[in-house]
Amino acid sequence: GENVEQHPSTLSVQEGDSAVIKCTYSDSASNYFPWYKQELGKRPQLIIDIRSNVGEKKDQRIAVTLNKTAKHFSLHITETQPEDSAVYFCAATKRGADGLTFGKGTHLIIQP
């Protein structure tokens, strides 16, 4: 089955700086890669996703890049703000297999 590795487990950045979180996946058939943000005690919420026919997607301060050959994808957050502090999970799945396989999460801390 699919295995998703996520790094780093904790990331501390100064407010206003950029943050990058990286994930690798094992199943070359995976074709959908969402990123979820989870605040303490809350539900995971989708912040951005990318499909395998696209190399990059951007939504305001958030972007995701996908390298299918290397089987890795990354989340980029620019101009970080205190409200960006949360745990971020990457995930992967493929059509015909519904369940999302999640990475272990990155605790992003924005230092004022």
Partner 1 sequence: EPEVTQTPSHQVTQMGQEVILRCVPISNHLYFYWYRQILGQKVEFLVSFYNNEISEKSEIFDDQFSVERPDGSNFTLKIRSTKLEDSAMYFCASRGALAGTYNEQFFGPGTRLTVL
- Interaction site with partner 1 (CB under 8 A): 31-32, 34, 36, 42-46, 49, 51, 89, 91, 93, 95, 97-105
CB of 96 to partner 1, least distance (A): 9
CB of 65 to partner 1, least distance (A): 19
* The two three-digit tokens of residue 93, written as one number: 């799945």
95 within 8 A of 80, measured Cβ to Cβ? no
CB of 30 to partner 1, least distance (A): 10
Integer Cα distance of 48 and 60 in angstroms:
11
* Tokens 């190399």 -> residue: 55
Q: Which is nearer to partner 1, 44 or 110 (CB)?
A: 44
The number of beta carbons lying within 10 Å of the beta carbon of residue 111 is 12
